[in-house]
């Protein structure tokens, strides 16, 4: 057993209102630089939707993530056939690289014209201007959230790669207003245990930090081969076209190292985000990543270790994990959601990178379609509100495609638990569900009343310190830079050099 | 007189500047130690530029190096006429391939406004130098046949005399003007390595190391750097 610590974020999708405050917080802190304007290390997608970059989940096109070969080996999808030799063959032209058009051309507006236009008969306008070329654009064809709230859904939402598994009648829901469903999906880098980006980098610039599991990209070592952009199935490394280096979400490590939550998590208005430590067994990464895709969620729960188990604690100490980290792991909301209560699940585990951010599947909108088919309406105040989950509006199949590699059982388990908690709290507050029915639901979901209360507290009432249990890294002992160079390196944020001040290099 | 300066002294000046420049850039500006990729901004024309160009130039450059460094073996190969034909024709074909790629590069830099916005004056210089090199190279191949033979006889001894610090300019003094331009321009390319995107000639080490490296890389700050062989996930 090789116990490692990993910082992990959990997203409670039911509470996400799609306000993009997280994205803006991240952008303001990290990506308002030339070459990075188009990057959204944190972005929020409307699902179903094509996403950002467009159809990023389509691995036939981008070849991100891993596959198990016929000989039982784990191989990057990008390196199909000759394996690593393919990297040499594609080094001059990378066939699976998304281009700027798959994201969007960054733009600003000619605001000066509003103030400085000469007097005339017409109202002056601010025309869009490309941030790459500086030229005026005819029109803005696409933006980072073009299909927000189902804007243009026949074009965008219907191109969602996850819809392939749905039946025609289920797909039809996208166009029938009274059957419509959608939810928001915030995404950051998953800081995977078996990251595709790290594995694909010909320069070895990407690495996983041993202490907290954050995946980083060494800007000084990056040589612009761009394989990480393709190999990451989540499309979270981005190529900076001005500096010629890739960049990615850094889990706000300068903040987490001092036990502050990430900018996105801190800014979240819906308080949907939880950050905590997870202990896992690094010896079992490879065997876990190779399992059949329906078993991946279970296997990932298996590789995560119980921080209250004395044996695990002992092994963790032996491995140099400090006490404040072990204690944080014991209070970790991410651990509770993922393993203790089995509520959250990874995003697309079938990409086999073992992503380390987890999502609680959305229960809303619960108003199920069978009822509205009959023309009936719901009284959300009635006990009948709590209906059969099988008939809920968001097809279970779709959620399973998104969160469990097609395994509907684990999604169902989570939804049933969430529903049981709702019934439990409604009975507690309003009392119209009925004791027997609540107990039945709790039994069926396999949780105790205490569990239900704890879950309710954590999802609905939790305060800052309960949502963000982030232990400090002892910088005086562990440091990312040579202490002798710390003074001259102060002020660096990790992207280029301070003296360079983020200008595009000229050679 | 001019020949002595250009082919007797200038090579040493250029090579010295190149070596000092390379060391200087590697130590002070390792960050920029690559070619600024613009595939992200435009990848359709680039495919027809980059692939033929790199395949062609790598093979033709290897052929040049072999002829210049071990001329006897090439002369031996060329002693049979069909083999000489095969070598010359494939050389010419590769030259045309590189020219095609280069034309695509230039077309792309001129027509695509996004690519133009990341084009520096150094890039323009690089393209000009490469055009001179490829055109004179093809000129040699077409105007003065059996270059692989006379190159081995004339240029190779000159290269060796430069390497051995006793320049014998007489070997190249009587070569045609096109050939002289080709040789001199090659030295300009060497000179430009530390100052332009040519520096990516020297960035191939990473991908070669990648061939034997385990997929995953873990860095520890609390542990001493690892000296034994890297292991996956460790």
Return all residues near A503 (Cβ < 8 A) that are at least 6 apart.
A34, A242
Per-residue pLDDT band for B85 (boundaries 50, 70, 90) equals: confident
Per-residue pLDDT band for A503 (boundaries 50, 70, 90) equals: very low
Nearest residue in B to A202, CA atom: B207
Interface of A with B in 113-132 (CB under 8 A): 130, 132
**DSSP element (H, E) containing A311:** helix A310-318
Nearest alpha-carbon partner for A234 in A269, A272, A185: A185
Burial A335-365 (b: 16+ CB within 10 A, else e): bbbbbbbbbbbbbbbbbbbbbbbbbbbbbee
According to the model, what pLDDT value does residue A80 have? 87
Q: Does A111 touch chain B (CB under 8 A)?
A: no
Nearest alpha-carbon partner for A263 in A2, A476, A41: A41
Measured between alpha carbons, how far is B157 from B94 in angstroms, rounded to an integer? Answer: 25
Counting every residue, how long is chain A? 507
Residue percentage of chain A with pLDDT more than 90: 67
Strands A345-346 and A238-240: unpaired
Residue range A417-444, pLDDT digits in tens: 999 998 899 899 988 888 998 999 999 9
- Whether residue B40 contacts residue A53, with contact meaning beta carbons closer than 8 Å, is answered with no
Q: Do A93 and B118 touch (CB under 8 A)?
A: no
More reliable by pLDDT, A445 or B234 = A445
Measured between alpha carbons, how far is A55 from A103 in angstroms, rounded to an integer? Answer: 10
A372 pLDDT exceeds 80? Answer: no
Q: Which of B37, B116, B218 sits opposite A244 (nearest CB)?
A: B37
Q: Calculate how close chain A gets to B65, using CA atoms only, in Å.
A: 21
A220 pLDDT exceeds 60? Answer: yes
According to the model, what pLDDT value does residue A370 have? 47
A445: tokens are 């979901």
Measured between alpha carbons, how far is A21 from A105 in angstroms, rounded to an integer? Answer: 22
Provide the CB-side half-sphere exposure for A306 (13 A, CA): 7
Q: Which of A93, A194, A209 sits opposite B39 (nearest CB)?
A: A93
Per-residue pLDDT band for B93 (boundaries 50, 70, 90) equals: very high
Q: In this structure, what is the dihedral angle of CA atoms A493, A496, A501, A504, given to the nearest 10 degrees? A: -140
Cα A206 to chain centroid, rounded: 19
Chains A and B form CB pairs within 8 A to the count of: 148
Return all residues near A242 (Cβ < 8 A) that are at least 6 apart.
A33, A34, A35, A36, A503, A504, A505, B118
Mean pLDDT, rounded, for A359-381: 63
Mean pLDDT, rounded, for A188-211: 94
Measured between alpha carbons, how far is B93 from B138 in angstroms, rounded to an integer? Answer: 10
Q: Does A487 touch chain B (CB under 8 A)?
A: no
B163 pLDDT exceeds 50? Answer: yes
More reliable by pLDDT, B128 or A506 = B128
- CA distances to A164, A210, A329, B233 from A307, rounded to whole Å, are 39, 18, 6, 21
Measured between alpha carbons, how far is B152 from B71 in angstroms, rounded to an integer? Answer: 5
Per-residue pLDDT band for A39 (boundaries 50, 70, 90) equals: very high
Q: Calculate how close chain A gets to B132, using CA atoms only, in Å.
A: 21
Per-residue pLDDT band for B70 (boundaries 50, 70, 90) equals: confident
**DSSP element (H, E) containing A9:** strand A3-12
Nearest residue in A to B211, CA atom: A84
Q: Do A241 and B116 touch (CB under 8 A)?
A: no
Interface of A with B in 298-357 (CB under 8 A): 320
State residue A93 phi and psi, 5-degree precision: -155, 125
According to the model, what pLDDT value does residue B73 have? 83
Mean pLDDT, rounded, for A224-242: 95
Q: Calculate how close chain B gets to A438, using CA atoms only, in Å.
A: 46
According to the model, what pLDDT value does residue A349 have? 96
According to the model, what pLDDT value does residue A499 have? 46
Mean pLDDT rounded to a whole number for chain A? 87
pTM of the model: 0.90
- Each as own residue / partner, the long-range contacts of residues B66-75 (CB below 8 Å, 24 or more positions apart, any chain) are B67/B148, B67/B151, B67/B152, B67/B155, B67/B156, B68/B151, B68/B155, B68/B156, B68/B159, B69/B156, B69/B159, B71/B151, B71/B152, B71/B153, B71/B156, B71/B157, B72/B152, B74/B148, B74/B152, B75/B149, B75/B152, B75/B153
Q: Do A202 and B33 touch (CB under 8 A)?
A: no
Per-residue pLDDT band for A384 (boundaries 50, 70, 90) equals: low
Per-residue pLDDT band for B14 (boundaries 50, 70, 90) equals: very high
According to the model, what pLDDT value does residue A502 have? 42
Domain boundaries defined on chain A: 8-107+140-256
More reliable by pLDDT, A147 or A260 = A260
According to the model, what pLDDT value does residue A507 have? 45
* Beta carbons within 10 angstroms of residue A400's beta carbon: 23
Lowest mean pLDDT: which of A103-107, A151-155, A448-452?
A: A151-155
Residue range A286-326, pLDDT digits in tens: 999 999 999 999 999 999 999 999 999 999 999 989 999 99
Q: Could you tell me where the beta strands, DSSP code E, fall in chain B?
A: 218-219
Mean pLDDT, rounded, for A489-500: 51
According to the model, what pLDDT value does residue A497 have? 46
Q: Does A93 touch chain B (CB under 8 A)?
A: yes
Q: Tell me the ipTM for this assembly.
A: 0.90
Measured between alpha carbons, how far is A473 from A322 in angstroms, rounded to an integer? Answer: 9
- Each as own residue / partner, the long-range contacts of residues A490-494 (CB below 8 Å, 24 or more positions apart, any chain) are A493/A30, A493/A254, A494/A216, A494/A219, A494/A250
Nearest alpha-carbon partner for A335 in A433, A449, A245, A466: A466
Residue percentage of chain A with pLDDT more than 70: 87
More reliable by pLDDT, B232 or B16 = B16
Per-residue pLDDT band for A100 (boundaries 50, 70, 90) equals: very high
Class of domain A8-107+140-256 (CATH, top level): alpha beta
Measured between alpha carbons, how far is A284 from B233 in angstroms, rounded to an integer? Answer: 10
Measured between alpha carbons, how far is A345 from A362 in angstroms, rounded to an integer? Answer: 12
Nearest residue in B to A201, CA atom: B210
Three-state SS for A179-195 is HCCCEEEEECCCCCCCC
Q: Residue B11: left if φ>0, alpha if ψ -120 to 50, beta else—which one?
A: alpha
A496 pLDDT exceeds 60? Answer: no
Q: Does A11 touch chain B (CB under 8 A)?
A: no
Q: Calculate how close chain B gets to A447, using CA atoms only, in Å.
A: 36
A393 pLDDT exceeds 80? Answer: no
Nearest residue in A to B118, CA atom: A242
Structural domains of chain B ordered from first start: 2-212 (1.20.950.20)
| Residue B32 β-bridge partners | none
Measured between alpha carbons, how far is A206 from A189 in angstroms, rounded to an integer? Answer: 13
Residue range B198-227, pLDDT digits in tens: 999 888 888 999 999 899 998 887 765 554
Mean pLDDT, rounded, for A234-262: 93
According to the model, what pLDDT value does residue B82 have? 87
Mean pLDDT, rounded, for A335-343: 96
More reliable by pLDDT, A177 or A481 = A177
Return all residues near A2 (Cβ < 8 A) that are at least 6 apart.
A281, A282, A283, A319
Return all residues near A316 (Cβ < 8 A) that are at least 6 apart.
A3, A5, A279, A307, A325, A326, A329
């Amino acid at each position: 057993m090789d116990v490692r610590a990993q910082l992990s974020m959990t997203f409670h999708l039911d509470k996400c209102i799609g306000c993009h405050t997280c994205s803006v917080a991240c952008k303001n802190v990290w990506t308002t630089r030339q070459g990075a304007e188009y990057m959204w290390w944190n972005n929020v997608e409307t699902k179903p939707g094509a996403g950002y970059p467009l159809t990023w989940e389509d691995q036939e096109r981008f070849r991100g993530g891993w596959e198990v070969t016929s000989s039982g080996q784990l191989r990057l999808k990008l390196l199909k056939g000759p394996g690593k030799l393919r990297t040499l063959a594609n080094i001059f032209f990378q066939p699976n690289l998304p281009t700027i058009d798959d994201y969007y051309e960054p733009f600003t507006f000619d605001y000066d014209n509003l103030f400085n236009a000469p007097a005339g008969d017409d109202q002056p306008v601010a025309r869009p201007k490309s941030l790459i070329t500086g030229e005026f654009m005819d029109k803005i064809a696409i933006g980072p959230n073009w299909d927000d709230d189902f804007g243009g859904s026949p074009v965008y939402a219907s191109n969602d790669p996850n819809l392939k598994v749905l039946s025609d009648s289920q797909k039809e829901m996208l166009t029938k207003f009274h059957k419509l469903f959608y939810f928001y999906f915030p995404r950051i880098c998953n800081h995977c245990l078996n990251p595709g980006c790290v594995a694909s980098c010909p320069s070895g610039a990407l690495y996983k930090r041993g202490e907290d599991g954050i995946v980083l990209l060494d800007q000084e070592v990056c040589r612009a081969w761009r394989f990480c952009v393709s190999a990451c199935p989540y499309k979270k490394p981005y190529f900076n076209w001005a500096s010629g280096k890739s960049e990615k979400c850094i889990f706000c490590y300068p903040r987490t190292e001092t036990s502050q939550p990430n900018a996105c998590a801190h800014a979240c208005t819906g308080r949907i985000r939880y950050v905590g430590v997870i202990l896992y067994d690094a010896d079992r990464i490879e065997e876990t990543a190779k399992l059949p895709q329906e078993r991946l969620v279970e296997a990932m729960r298996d590789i995560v270790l119980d921080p209250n188990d004395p044996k695990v604690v002992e092994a963790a100490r032996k491995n140099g994990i400090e006490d404040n980290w072990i204690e944080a792991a014991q209070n970790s909301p991410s651990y509770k959601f993922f393993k203790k209560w089995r509520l959250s699940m990874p995003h697309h585990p079938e990409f086999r990178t073992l992503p380390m951010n987890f999502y609680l599947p959305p229960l809303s909108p619960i108003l199920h379609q069978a009822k509205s088919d009959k023309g009936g309406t719901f009284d959300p105040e009635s006990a009948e509100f709590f209906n059969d989950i099988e008939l809920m509006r968001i097809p279970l199949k779709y959620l399973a495609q998104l969160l469990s590699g097609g395994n509907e059982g684990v999604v169902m388990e989570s939804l049933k638990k969430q529903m049981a908690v709702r019934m439990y709290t409604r009975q507690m507050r309003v009392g119209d569900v009925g004791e027997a029915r609540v107990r039945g639901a709790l039994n069926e979901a396999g949780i105790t009343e205490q569990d239900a209360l704890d879950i309710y507290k954590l999802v609905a009432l939790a305060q800052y310190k309960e949502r963000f249990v982030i232990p400090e890294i002892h910088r005086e002992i562990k440091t990312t830079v040579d202490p002798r160079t710390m003074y001259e390196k102060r002020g660096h944020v990790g992207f280029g050099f301070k003296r360079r001040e983020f200008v595009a290099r000229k050679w | 007189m001019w020949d002595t300066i250009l082919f007797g002294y200038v090579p040493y000046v250029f090579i010295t500047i190149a070596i000092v420049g390379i060391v200087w850039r590697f130590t002070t500006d390792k960050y920029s130690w690559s070619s600024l990729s613009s595939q992200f901004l435009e990848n359709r024309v680039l495919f027809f530029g980059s692939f033929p160009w790199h395949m062609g130039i790598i093979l033709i450059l290897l052929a040049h190096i072999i002829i210049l460094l071990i001329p006897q073996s090439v002369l031996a190969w060329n002693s049979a006429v069909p083999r000489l034909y095969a070598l010359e024709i494939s050389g010419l074909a590769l030259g045309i391939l590189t020219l095609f790629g280069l034309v695509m590069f230039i077309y792309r830099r001129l027509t695509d406004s996004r690519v133009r916005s990341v084009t520096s004056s150094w890039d323009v210089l690089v393209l000009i130098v490469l055009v001179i090199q490829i055109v004179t190279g093809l000129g040699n191949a077409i105007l003065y046949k059996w270059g692989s033979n006379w190159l081995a006889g004339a240029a190779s001894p000159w290269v060796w005399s430069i390497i051995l610090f006793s320049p014998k300019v007489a070997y190249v003094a009587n070569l045609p003007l096109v050939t002289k331009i080709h040789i001199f321009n090659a030295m300009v390319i060497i000179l430009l390595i530390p100052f332009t995107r040519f520096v990516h000639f020297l960035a191939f080490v990473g991908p070669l190391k990648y061939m034997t490296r385990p997929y995953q890389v873990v860095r520890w700050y609390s542990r001493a750097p690892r000296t034994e062989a890297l292991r996956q996930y460790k």
